[in-house]
Amino acid sequence: MLEFQLTGTGNAGGVPLWGCDCPACSVARRDPSKRRQSASAVIRTNEGVTLLDAGITDLAEHFRFEEVVRVLLTHFHMDHVQGLFPLRWAESERKIPVYRPDDPEGADDLYKHPGVFQFLPSCEHFRELDFGAFAVTPLPLIHSRATQGFLIRQGHWRLAYLTDTVGLPEQTLEYLQANPLDELVLDCSEPPCDTPPRNHNDLNSALSTWRETGARRLWLTHISHRLDTWLQQGAALPEGVFVARDGLSLSPDHGA
């Protein structure tokens, strides 16, 4: 059994954005299903739960200490790690391994006071990590600080989780082309722009990356209220392209 669930699909500000009354934020305040928390995911297997980033601040309300077996971090921007700060003080001898990018600064004092978390040496890119129920390959991305995505594999089923990136490094693209994807979950923070954002994809760059990888399906994540508003205006997406939502689950057996 393997279930990949997106626990958050928003950018750093989330949806609704504080102080904003745009169409997307207004709808999200009325309809909880339209809200977006910080981009993050979990992988559930019979072994337990693997956290993929920890930007959600109330993780303790969702997961028991005993069921979290590891953490995979894409990078150390606060909207991806802030949920670890209250969890680290759990009173237990058990350590939860954290697989991290090569970032010597980390975030605040997490390295100095890790508590129950064991920050492992930085991941080696393109080297698969076998966790038994599934395998993960860290892949370098293009962002404002050291950032990695993950290719998640169970048997012949492959899902790539690539958030906080603008385009892909050539080596990462070549690796994904050589390992065909069933599902691509990709950063798409903005609607189509004449000039793409510096650290995130707009829809044009996300679609270009999807086509280059050859993935069967594309799921847009790390979404801003600006993209949601643009989509509300009736914009159509190509066949095979979907807007992810908080709580969306994907699996090798059932797809979405």
Read off the DSSP letter of residue 33: G
Q: Which of 4, 6, 20 is nearest to 224 (CA)?
A: 20
pLDDT (mean) for 180-206: 94
How many whole angstroms separate alpha carbon 233 and alpha carbon 150?
A: 33
Longest dimension (CA), the chain: 53
pLDDT of residue 196: 76
What are the structural domains of the chain? Answer: 2-244 (3.60.15.10)
pLDDT of residue 87: 97
Q: CB count, 10 Å around CB of 59? A: 20
Confidence band of 195 (pLDDT split at 50, 70, 90): confident
Confidence band of 256 (pLDDT split at 50, 70, 90): low
Segment 102-129, tens digit of pLDDT: 999 999 999 999 999 999 999 999 999 9
pLDDT of residue 235: 85
**Those residues with Cβ within 8 angstroms of residue 156's Cβ, 6 or more apart along the chain or in another chain:** none
Confidence band of 254 (pLDDT split at 50, 70, 90): low
Measured CA to CA in angstroms, residue 227 lies from 14, 65, 151, 152 at distances of 12, 35, 26, 27
- Mean pLDDT estimate for the chain: 96
pLDDT of residue 234: 87
* 190 in Cβ contact with 230 (< 8 Å): no
Segment 52-90, tens digit of pLDDT: 999 999 999 999 999 999 999 999 999 999 999 999 999
Pairing of strands 40-45, 48-52: antiparallel
* 88 in Cβ contact with 116 (< 8 Å): yes
Residue linked to tokens 């990590």: 129
Type and span of the H or E element at 171: helix 170-178
pLDDT of residue 253: 80
Confidence band of 255 (pLDDT split at 50, 70, 90): low
Indicate the pTM of the whole model. Answer: 0.96
Return the structure tokens found at 199: 């650290």
Q: Which of 45, 44, 32 is nearest to 6 (CA)?
A: 44
pLDDT of residue 145: 97
